[in-house]
Amino acid sequence: MLEVGGVQFGSRLFTGTGKFSSSELMEEALVASESELVTVALKRVDAHSQDDDILKHLKHPRIKLLPNTSGVRDAKEAVFAAQLAREALETDLLKLEIHPDPKYLMPDPIETLKATEELAKLGFKVFPYIHADPVLCKRLEDVGTAAVMPLGAPIGSNKGLATRDFLEIIIEQSSVPVIVDAGIGAPSHAAEAMEMGADAVLVNTAIAVSDNPVKMAEAFKLAVQAGRMAYEARLAARSQNAIASSPLTSFLD
Protein backbone atom coordinates (compact mmCIF):
# COMPACT_ATOMS: atom_id res chain seq x y z
CA MET A 1 0.00 0.00 0.00
CA LEU A 2 1.20 3.47 -0.83
CA GLU A 3 2.08 5.76 2.06
CA VAL A 4 2.89 9.41 1.53
CA GLY A 5 3.37 11.92 4.29
CA GLY A 6 2.18 9.41 6.85
CA VAL A 7 -1.11 8.82 5.06
CA GLN A 8 -1.99 5.52 3.42
CA PHE A 9 -3.67 5.37 0.03
CA GLY A 10 -5.48 2.43 -1.53
CA SER A 11 -5.47 4.13 -4.94
CA ARG A 12 -2.39 5.31 -6.81
CA LEU A 13 -4.41 7.70 -8.96
CA PHE A 14 -4.43 11.23 -7.61
CA THR A 15 -6.73 13.75 -9.25
CA GLY A 16 -7.57 17.44 -9.50
CA THR A 17 -10.61 19.65 -9.65
CA GLY A 18 -9.81 22.08 -12.48
CA LYS A 19 -11.64 22.50 -15.79
CA PHE A 20 -14.71 20.37 -15.14
CA SER A 21 -17.81 21.82 -16.74
CA SER A 22 -19.76 21.55 -13.49
CA SER A 23 -19.15 20.62 -9.87
CA GLU A 24 -21.66 17.80 -10.17
CA LEU A 25 -19.77 16.27 -13.06
CA MET A 26 -16.52 16.72 -11.16
CA GLU A 27 -17.90 14.86 -8.18
CA GLU A 28 -19.22 12.03 -10.28
CA ALA A 29 -15.90 11.66 -12.11
CA LEU A 30 -13.82 11.76 -8.94
CA VAL A 31 -15.98 9.11 -7.35
CA ALA A 32 -15.64 6.94 -10.46
CA SER A 33 -11.87 7.38 -10.39
CA GLU A 34 -11.74 5.95 -6.84
CA SER A 35 -9.05 8.53 -6.18
CA GLU A 36 -8.36 9.16 -2.51
CA LEU A 37 -6.35 12.36 -2.90
CA VAL A 38 -7.73 15.35 -4.76
CA THR A 39 -5.84 18.56 -5.26
CA VAL A 40 -7.70 21.84 -5.12
CA ALA A 41 -6.48 25.37 -5.70
CA LEU A 42 -6.72 27.39 -2.52
CA LYS A 43 -8.15 30.31 -4.45
CA ARG A 44 -11.14 28.22 -5.43
CA VAL A 45 -12.32 27.27 -1.99
CA ASP A 46 -13.91 29.34 0.69
CA ALA A 47 -14.02 27.16 3.71
CA HIS A 48 -15.97 29.61 5.76
CA SER A 49 -18.90 29.75 3.41
CA GLN A 50 -21.62 27.21 3.93
CA ASP A 51 -22.35 27.24 0.24
CA ASP A 52 -18.89 26.67 -1.03
CA ASP A 53 -19.48 24.69 -4.13
CA ILE A 54 -16.30 22.76 -4.74
CA LEU A 55 -15.73 21.70 -1.16
CA LYS A 56 -19.30 20.51 -0.83
CA HIS A 57 -18.75 18.16 -3.73
CA LEU A 58 -15.54 16.78 -2.26
CA LYS A 59 -16.97 15.64 1.05
CA HIS A 60 -16.52 11.90 0.70
CA PRO A 61 -15.14 9.67 3.44
CA ARG A 62 -12.51 8.26 1.10
CA ILE A 63 -11.31 11.57 -0.34
CA LYS A 64 -8.53 13.59 1.25
CA LEU A 65 -7.88 17.10 0.03
CA LEU A 66 -4.49 18.23 -1.19
CA PRO A 67 -4.55 22.05 -1.33
CA ASN A 68 -2.21 23.50 -3.92
CA THR A 69 -0.50 26.86 -4.12
CA SER A 70 -1.16 27.48 -7.79
CA GLY A 71 -0.76 31.18 -8.51
CA VAL A 72 2.00 31.99 -6.05
CA ARG A 73 5.20 33.46 -7.48
CA ASP A 74 7.86 32.65 -4.91
CA ALA A 75 8.67 30.81 -1.69
CA LYS A 76 7.39 33.57 0.54
CA GLU A 77 3.97 33.66 -1.08
CA ALA A 78 3.91 29.88 -1.05
CA VAL A 79 4.52 29.65 2.68
CA PHE A 80 1.82 32.20 3.36
CA ALA A 81 -0.64 30.40 1.13
CA ALA A 82 0.21 27.07 2.73
CA GLN A 83 -0.61 28.41 6.15
CA LEU A 84 -3.97 29.72 4.97
CA ALA A 85 -4.67 26.36 3.36
CA ARG A 86 -3.84 24.44 6.52
CA GLU A 87 -6.12 26.58 8.56
CA ALA A 88 -8.96 26.50 6.09
CA LEU A 89 -8.84 22.84 5.18
CA GLU A 90 -7.37 21.36 8.34
CA THR A 91 -4.70 19.33 6.61
CA ASP A 92 -0.90 19.28 6.67
CA LEU A 93 -0.77 17.95 3.13
CA LEU A 94 0.30 20.54 0.59
CA LYS A 95 0.93 20.48 -3.12
CA LEU A 96 3.58 23.10 -3.67
CA GLU A 97 3.40 24.77 -7.08
CA ILE A 98 5.60 27.75 -7.87
CA HIS A 99 5.59 28.52 -11.56
CA PRO A 100 6.33 32.13 -12.41
CA ASP A 101 5.95 31.68 -16.18
CA PRO A 102 2.30 32.08 -17.20
CA LYS A 103 2.72 30.42 -20.60
CA TYR A 104 4.25 27.02 -19.89
CA LEU A 105 3.78 26.91 -16.10
CA MET A 106 7.18 25.33 -15.63
CA PRO A 107 8.11 25.14 -11.95
CA ASP A 108 10.86 27.18 -10.32
CA PRO A 109 13.49 24.85 -8.82
CA ILE A 110 15.09 27.44 -6.54
CA GLU A 111 11.96 28.82 -4.91
CA THR A 112 10.47 25.35 -4.67
CA LEU A 113 13.44 24.01 -2.75
CA LYS A 114 13.44 27.02 -0.46
CA ALA A 115 9.70 26.75 0.24
CA THR A 116 9.87 23.00 0.79
CA GLU A 117 12.54 23.45 3.41
CA GLU A 118 10.52 26.08 5.28
CA LEU A 119 7.26 24.21 5.02
CA ALA A 120 8.77 20.93 6.18
CA LYS A 121 10.04 22.74 9.27
CA LEU A 122 6.52 24.05 9.83
CA GLY A 123 5.20 20.50 9.85
CA PHE A 124 3.75 20.36 6.36
CA LYS A 125 3.78 17.22 4.28
CA VAL A 126 5.03 18.77 1.07
CA PHE A 127 4.29 17.42 -2.42
CA PRO A 128 6.39 19.71 -4.64
CA TYR A 129 5.62 19.98 -8.37
CA ILE A 130 8.98 20.07 -10.15
CA HIS A 131 10.77 19.51 -13.40
CA ALA A 132 12.06 15.95 -13.80
CA ASP A 133 15.42 16.92 -12.35
CA PRO A 134 17.11 14.05 -10.50
CA VAL A 135 19.46 16.24 -8.46
CA LEU A 136 16.67 18.56 -7.36
CA CYS A 137 14.75 15.50 -6.20
CA LYS A 138 17.62 14.46 -3.94
CA ARG A 139 17.94 17.94 -2.54
CA LEU A 140 14.22 18.03 -1.78
CA GLU A 141 14.64 14.78 0.11
CA ASP A 142 17.46 16.37 2.10
CA VAL A 143 15.17 19.14 3.32
CA GLY A 144 12.35 16.82 4.28
CA THR A 145 9.92 16.63 1.39
CA ALA A 146 7.16 14.04 1.72
CA ALA A 147 7.25 13.12 -1.97
CA VAL A 148 8.44 14.45 -5.31
CA MET A 149 6.12 15.27 -8.20
CA PRO A 150 8.18 15.46 -11.37
CA LEU A 151 6.33 16.49 -14.51
CA GLY A 152 5.89 14.19 -17.51
CA ALA A 153 5.35 17.06 -19.93
CA PRO A 154 4.15 20.68 -19.66
CA ILE A 155 0.87 20.98 -17.72
CA GLY A 156 -2.14 20.43 -19.91
CA SER A 157 -0.10 19.42 -22.95
CA ASN A 158 -1.29 15.81 -22.80
CA LYS A 159 1.99 14.71 -24.34
CA GLY A 160 2.69 11.88 -21.91
CA LEU A 161 6.11 11.01 -20.56
CA ALA A 162 8.37 13.39 -22.47
CA THR A 163 10.74 13.22 -19.48
CA ARG A 164 10.90 9.41 -19.54
CA ASP A 165 14.71 9.16 -19.41
CA PHE A 166 14.87 11.35 -16.33
CA LEU A 167 11.90 9.81 -14.55
CA GLU A 168 13.75 6.49 -14.72
CA ILE A 169 16.73 8.01 -12.92
CA ILE A 170 14.51 9.69 -10.35
CA ILE A 171 12.61 6.49 -9.60
CA GLU A 172 15.85 4.54 -9.28
CA GLN A 173 17.36 7.03 -6.84
CA SER A 174 14.43 8.31 -4.81
CA SER A 175 13.80 7.37 -1.21
CA VAL A 176 10.48 9.22 -1.09
CA PRO A 177 7.43 8.42 -3.22
CA VAL A 178 7.60 9.60 -6.84
CA ILE A 179 4.30 10.91 -8.21
CA VAL A 180 4.26 11.80 -11.89
CA ASP A 181 2.36 15.02 -12.38
CA ALA A 182 1.43 17.01 -15.49
CA GLY A 183 1.40 15.94 -19.10
CA ILE A 184 -0.44 12.67 -18.62
CA GLY A 185 -3.04 12.85 -21.35
CA ALA A 186 -4.19 9.28 -21.78
CA PRO A 187 -4.60 6.13 -19.71
CA SER A 188 -1.69 4.60 -21.62
CA HIS A 189 0.57 7.38 -20.31
CA ALA A 190 -0.53 6.70 -16.74
CA ALA A 191 0.03 2.97 -17.22
CA GLU A 192 3.51 3.61 -18.61
CA ALA A 193 4.47 5.75 -15.61
CA MET A 194 3.31 3.02 -13.25
CA GLU A 195 5.09 0.30 -15.25
CA MET A 196 8.32 2.27 -14.82
CA GLY A 197 7.84 2.15 -11.08
CA ALA A 198 6.29 5.51 -10.26
CA ASP A 199 4.45 5.32 -6.97
CA ALA A 200 1.43 7.26 -8.20
CA VAL A 201 0.26 9.67 -10.89
CA LEU A 202 -1.77 12.85 -10.73
CA VAL A 203 -4.27 13.39 -13.54
CA ASN A 204 -6.63 16.30 -13.96
CA THR A 205 -6.96 17.86 -17.43
CA ALA A 206 -7.25 14.60 -19.35
CA ILE A 207 -10.22 13.55 -17.25
CA ALA A 208 -11.90 16.94 -16.95
CA VAL A 209 -11.92 17.95 -20.61
CA SER A 210 -12.84 14.56 -22.05
CA ASP A 211 -16.21 14.18 -23.72
CA ASN A 212 -17.17 11.86 -20.90
CA PRO A 213 -15.23 12.62 -17.72
CA VAL A 214 -16.86 9.87 -15.70
CA LYS A 215 -15.92 7.17 -18.17
CA MET A 216 -12.46 8.65 -18.60
CA ALA A 217 -11.95 8.68 -14.86
CA GLU A 218 -12.76 5.00 -14.72
CA ALA A 219 -10.38 4.37 -17.64
CA PHE A 220 -7.56 6.03 -15.72
CA LYS A 221 -8.41 4.03 -12.61
CA LEU A 222 -8.03 0.78 -14.55
CA ALA A 223 -4.88 1.94 -16.36
CA VAL A 224 -3.14 2.85 -13.12
CA GLN A 225 -4.03 -0.53 -11.65
CA ALA A 226 -2.80 -2.25 -14.82
CA GLY A 227 0.48 -0.39 -14.81
CA ARG A 228 1.12 -1.14 -11.16
CA MET A 229 0.36 -4.84 -11.61
CA ALA A 230 2.72 -4.97 -14.60
CA TYR A 231 5.43 -3.34 -12.53
CA GLU A 232 4.95 -5.92 -9.80
CA ALA A 233 4.88 -8.81 -12.29
CA ARG A 234 7.93 -7.41 -14.10
CA LEU A 235 7.74 -6.61 -17.78
CA ALA A 236 9.74 -8.63 -20.28
CA ALA A 237 12.82 -6.94 -21.72
CA ARG A 238 12.71 -5.30 -25.12
CA SER A 239 14.49 -7.27 -27.78
CA GLN A 240 16.07 -6.22 -31.02
CA ASN A 241 15.26 -9.42 -32.89
CA ALA A 242 11.89 -10.99 -33.24
CA ILE A 243 11.24 -13.96 -31.01
CA ALA A 244 8.55 -16.30 -32.21
CA SER A 245 5.69 -16.95 -29.84
CA SER A 246 4.74 -19.97 -31.96
CA PRO A 247 7.14 -22.76 -32.88
CA LEU A 248 9.30 -22.04 -35.84
CA THR A 249 9.87 -25.55 -37.09
CA SER A 250 8.47 -25.66 -40.53
CA PHE A 251 4.85 -26.56 -40.35
CA LEU A 252 4.75 -29.44 -42.75
CA ASP A 253 7.82 -31.33 -41.64
Contact between 23 and 46 under an 8 Å Cβ cutoff? The reply is no
Q: Which of 56, 95, 103, 125 is catalytic?
A: 95
| From 2-10, 48-56, 86-94, 214-222, span contacting its own copies (CB under 8 A) | 214-222
List Cα–Cα distances, 91 to 66, 77, 84, 132, 209, in angstroms. Answer: 8, 18, 11, 27, 28
Among 7, 25, 88, 106, which residue interacts with its own copies (rule: CB under 8 A)? 106
Among 79, 115, 149, 155, which residue interacts with its own copies (rule: CB under 8 A)? 155
Nearest to its own copies of 6, 47 (CB atom):
47
Nearest to its own copies of 61, 240 (CB atom):
240
Q: Is 95 a catalytic residue?
A: yes
Residues in CB range of 193: below 8 A, 6 or more apart: 152, 161, 167, 180, 184, 201, 227
Q: What is the DSSP letter of 214?
A: H
Amino acid at 33: S
| From 4-12, 48-56, 118-126, 161-169, span contacting its own copies (CB under 8 A) | 161-169
- x-or-dash pattern for its own copies, window 166-205, by CB under 8 A? x--x---x-----------xxxxx-xx--x--------xx
Q: What is the DSSP letter of 35?
A: -
Give the integer Cα–Cα distance in Å for 27 and 62.
Answer: 13
- Please report whether residue 206 would count as binding its own copies according to CB under 8 A: yes
| From 3-11, 50-58, 119-127, 157-165, span contacting its own copies (CB under 8 A) | 157-165
| From 6-14, 48-56, 86-94, 159-167, span contacting its own copies (CB under 8 A) | 159-167
Give the integer Cα–Cα distance in Å for 97 and 21.
Answer: 23
Q: What is the DSSP letter of 227?
A: H
Q: What residue numbers does the annotated binding site for 1-deoxy-D-xylulose 5-phosphate cover?
A: 156, 182-183, 204-205
Site for its own copies in 26-85 (CB under 8 A): 39, 41-44, 68-73, 77, 80-81
Q: What residue numbers does the annotated binding site cover?
A: 156, 182-183, 204-205
Amino acid at 213: P
Query: What's the closest the beta carbon of residue 251 comes to its own copies, in angstroms?
Result: 3
Q: C-alpha dihedral over 104, 107, 109, 112, to 10 degrees? A: 160
Contact between 120 and 145 under an 8 Å Cβ cutoff? The reply is yes
Nearest to its own copies of 6, 25 (CB atom):
25
- Applying CB under 8 A, what is the total number of residues that bind its own copies? 103
Give the integer Cα–Cα distance in Å for 95 and 82.
Answer: 9
Give the integer Cα–Cα distance in Å for 19 and 55.
Answer: 15
Q: Which residues are catalytic?
A: 95
